[in-house]
């Protein structure tokens, strides 16, 4: 079994080390992660400069580090760095939730999605709250899900993509797990305008909006009930239901 692990918080993030340690003994593990925090970079690829790869030392010994985005890491790994295609791509464990609309902006989900786009089953893991509290408990949940997913890989080798959000609790491994759909968030908070020391206006992107569609069956609901949320994702953004409507409005004579 070959597993590729990436993240978006950067190679020094505690969530990455915890996930790698939790997967020890599963087979050959390659870690390819961004040099710095690349949260919120979505599926961006670096196209206008080359990428450097170095091998980390210390606690991150053996991790391959890329001065790029999470998608760059998985892309470079799958198309040139690794000798063989992995059986599974894992991403995380992220510092904070990736639920509802977050999944469109998330580098954590994007790293897993890059594997999925290359035909490799993939799982993105996030902790519900920022700050790394109970990260070891979250890593135990991740390991258990990986164990069960590996059995699923043997039965269903085709690519699939799972998005997992884990409450920050010491008993996370004992929490119920539910298969969920994505909820929706309200539009994010307004930008925060400040004046820099040169007297120029600068803008900070505001925090994500609160949950808007968070009813039963959603990822938001599951996590609010103290459950581990597992959402199967797909990539097709087509609004299938609207195809006839737009044909009528814009094409038909
Ligand atoms: Mn992140």
Q: Model pTM? A: 0.95
3-class DSSP state of 55: strand
Instruction: Give the per-residue pLDDT at 187.
Output: 84
Cα(244) to centroid(ligand 1), Å: 38
Q: Which of 125-129, 170-174, 187-191 has the lowest mean pLDDT?
A: 187-191
Q: What is the CATH number assigned to the segment(s) 2-184+211-250?
A: 3.40.1210.10
**Residue count (the chain):** 253
Residue from 128, 112, 108, 132 nearest 120 by CA? 112
Q: What one-character-per-residue DSSP string does 196-240 give?
A: -TTS-EEEEPPPPPPEEE--TTBHHHHHHTT-EEEEEE------G
Neighbours of 193 (CB within 10 A): 9
From ligand 1's centre to the CA of 245, what distance in Å? Answer: 38
pLDDT > 70: what percent of the chain?
100
Q: Is residue 153's pLDDT more than 90?
A: no
Q: How confident is the model at residue 180 (pLDDT cuts 50, 70, 90)?
A: very high
The domain ranges of the chain are 2-184+211-250
Q: Determine the distance separating the centroid of ligand 1 and the alpha carbon of 238, expressed in angstroms.
A: 27
> Considering the chain, what is the average pLDDT of its residues?
96
Ligand 1 centroid, distance to 103 Cα (angstroms): 11
């Amino acid at each position: 079994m070959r597993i590729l692990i990436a993240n978006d918080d950067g190679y020094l993030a505690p969530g990455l080390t915890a996930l790698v340690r939790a997967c020890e003994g599963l087979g050959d593990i390659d870690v390819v992660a961004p040099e710095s925090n690349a949260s919120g970079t979505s599926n961006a690829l670096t196209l206008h400069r080359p990428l450097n790869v170095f091998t980390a030392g210390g606690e991150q010994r053996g991790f391959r580090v890329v001065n790029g985005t999470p998608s760059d890491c998985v892309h470079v790994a799958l198309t040139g760095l690794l000798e063989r295609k992995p059986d599974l791509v894992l991403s995380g464990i992220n510092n904070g939730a990736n639920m509802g609309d977050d999944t469109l902006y998330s580098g954590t989900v994007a790293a897993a999605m890059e594997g999925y786009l290359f035909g490799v089953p993939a799982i993105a893991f996030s902790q519900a709250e920022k700050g790394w509290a109970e990260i070891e408990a979250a890593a135990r949940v991740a390991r258990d899900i990986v164990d069960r997913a590996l059995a699923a890989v043997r039965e269903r080798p085709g690519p699939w993509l799972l998005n997992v959000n884990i409450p920050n609790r010491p008993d996370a491994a004992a929490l119920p797990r539910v298969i969920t759909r994505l909820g929706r968030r309200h539009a994010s908070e307004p930008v925060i305008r400040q004046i820099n020391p040169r007297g120029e206006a600068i803008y900070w992107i505001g925090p994500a909006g609160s949950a808007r569609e968070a009813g039963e069956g959603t990822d938001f609901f599951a996590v609010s009930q103290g459950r581990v949320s597992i959402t199967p994702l797909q990539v097709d953004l087509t609004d299938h239901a609207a195809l006839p409507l737009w044909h009528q409005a814009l094409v038909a004579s």
